[in-house]
Structure 1
Amino acid sequence: MADLFGDEWMKKFQEEWNKESELSDALAKINFNSNIGYGIDGEDTPRGVLVVENGKATIGCAYDGQELNWDLRASEDNWNKWIAKGLGMMGLGMAYTSRKLKFQVGDYGAMIKDPRMAGPFIKSFTVMGRV
């Protein structure tokens, strides 16, 4: 298995992201563009980055200093649990308020209040389970 959020893992995540219409097509409707970092809480930098242009993931790779709009961090155990089981809206809220999921960069409050972004964000955890 590829290292969590390593280059190979991120490339597979990019492929799966684009296959999921509830994620890529939904975000295309709102012209969503973002550099999203994924990493382990306590590490200096994220491990991987996904570049999204108009909802489609155009680059999935190891992090190499890219500017980020979002930087999501959690323990490796929590990531693995969410990847295996998914994460619903209530679980996301609990993960955020208990600081199990941290937004080093990005506005959780603005994202969660916009159903056009919140739904696809939740779906991204399901897609991670396909990697």
Structure 2
Amino acid sequence: MADLFSEAWMQAYMTEWNKEPELAEALAKINFNSTIAYGFPDQDKPTGILVVQAGKAVSAGPYNNEPLNWDLRATADNWQKWMEKGIGMAGLGMAYMGGKLKFKTGDYTAMIKDPRMAGPFIKSFNVMGKVKA
């Protein structure tokens, strides 16, 4: 598998994102536009970035100081666990409250209270698990 959040990994993630109707189509219904970064808590900057317009991922690759709507951080072990097993709503709450999933940018509380966003957010972890080398 390509390194987690590398350019190749992010490109594959973009492809999988756009194939998943519970993600791309659900977010298109609410005209979701966002720049989402992914990375690790011990780094100053995120590693990878996904740009979403009207629910569809339109670009992906390494982070290059773009302004962010979301910056999600977790250890490689936690990312891997969530990709393999999914996370679910309860697991997401526990990961956030326990500091295992950090939102350096973005409003977790607003997102989780909106089922139109929370469901696709949960689904994004399952989609990450579909990324293959």
Match of 2:53 in 1: 53
Distance 1:60 1:2 in 2: 14
Match of 2:79 in 1: 79
Runs of 4+ with >6 A deviation: none
Identity of paired residues, percent?
65
1:33-90: CA deviation from partner (whole Å, max 9, x where unpaired): 0000000112011000000000000001111111110000001110111011111000
1:41 is aligned to 2:75:
no
- Normalising by structure 1, we get a TM-score of 0.99
Match of 2:9 in 1: 9
1:112 is aligned to 2:112:
yes
1:99 is aligned to 2:95:
no
Distance 1:85 1:40 in 2: 19
Tell me the amino acid that sits aligned with residue 83 of structure 1: M
Structure 1: gaps of 5 or more residues: none
Distance 2:84 2:46 in 1: 20
Tell me the amino acid that sits aligned with residue 16 of structure 2: E
Structure 2: gaps of 5 or more residues: none
Distance 1:67 1:3 in 2: 23
| RMSD, aligned CA | 0.4
Distance 1:52 1:19 in 2: 14
